[in-house]
A = this chain, B = another copy of it.
Amino acid sequence: MPVTERATGLSTTELAILGLLSYGERSGYDLKKAVEAGVGYVWTAAKSQVYAVLPRLVADGYATARRVAQERLPDKQVYRITPKGERAFREWLEEPVEERSGVRSPFLLKVFFGAKMNKEALIAHVERRRDEAARELAEYREIEQQIRDDPRSYFGYATLRWGLAEARAWIRWADELLRELRERP
């Protein structure tokens, strides 16, 4: 299960950052914010990783950096994607996705070992998962209201729809299992 599946020696995180840079120049800080606000559902990175990745992109010619002085605020480095960066990103974008085989869910792992714990603990786990999914669903529905008619968000909305579908599927799955567990002796 490679997290990497690189096209050109770039990690997926590097490519995600290149993708964000392809919309215009950004600082590390901006990128971290952009991730949290946008792609966050689909890809995350720790801030220290963002700062680690950017100089590497510059060193390899995928981006350039420029120091910008600010009033009252510390200087910042602003990064811009290069044609080489655009090309690498585009190539990666269009090449087929490596299938992820192996889901790696600590939650499902616990359910799998359900026979080894007492029933109440298991029920509590499933209830938590259900509540979490319900919370996510509410959150996604709010975002949906904001972006559903904005054509610029079309693809973000497509991924959001997966989030909505998944959250609903979790809720149905959990409800069914909870009903069963409560009926069981």
B43, A104: Cβ atoms under 8 Å? yes
A124 contact from B96, B125, B172, Cβ within 8 A:
B96
A93, B116: Cβ atoms under 8 Å? yes
- Bound CA span A89–B116, Å: 9
- Bound CA span A155–B126, Å: 12
Counting chain B CB atoms within 10 Å of each CB, which of A5, A93, A125 scores highest?
A93
A109 contact from B22, B42, B94, B109, Cβ within 8 A:
B42
- Bound CA span A39–B38, Å: 33
Rounded to whole Å, the gap between the CB of A3 and the closest CB of chain B is: 7
The chain A residues found within 8 Å of chain B, CB to CB, are 1, 3, 5, 12, 15-16, 19, 22, 38-44, 89-90, 93-94, 96-118, 121, 124-125, 128-129, 132, 154-156, 158-159, 161-162, 165-166, 168-169, 172-173, 176-177
